[in-house]
Amino acid sequence: MANKKKNNNKNSSSTGKTAISKAAAQSKKSSSNKKDQKQSPKEYFRGIKQELKKVVWPTRKELVSDTVVVIAVCTFFAVGFWLVDTGFLAFLRELLDITLS
């Protein structure tokens, strides 16, 4: 039973690699053809509109929670850098016995 599973995995992985390599080769061919073709501005903006329709926009709840996380992380690192900078400055003042204005 275990041998059959191993054989099935080998067959599926080899066909998977072949399918992937064929898809990659076709992708390279189609992308080189696309590079050679010039596109009108109208078609370009139509493509942009189509791509924007595919975007999954965040919900209001997700947007608010992500914004709060970003602000919290930025604040945390700002305070951390300020503390390190203040400590380093105090250390240099003591070490060099200088005053900075």
* pLDDT at residue 87 is higher than 60: yes
Residues 19 and 25: their CA atoms lie apart, in Å, by 10
* pLDDT at residue 13 is higher than 60: no
Of the candidates 85, 87, 89, the residue with the CA atom closest to the CA atom of residue 101: 89
Write out the H or E segment, with its range, that includes residue 19. helix 2-36
Please report which confidence band the pLDDT of residue 94 belongs to, taking 50, 70 and 90 as the band edges: confident
**Angle ∠(75,79,82) on CA atoms, nearest 5:** 140
Please report which confidence band the pLDDT of residue 31 belongs to, taking 50, 70 and 90 as the band edges: low
Q: Tokens in use for 40?
A: 């009108």
Would you state the pLDDT for residue 45?
94
Please report which confidence band the pLDDT of residue 37 belongs to, taking 50, 70 and 90 as the band edges: confident
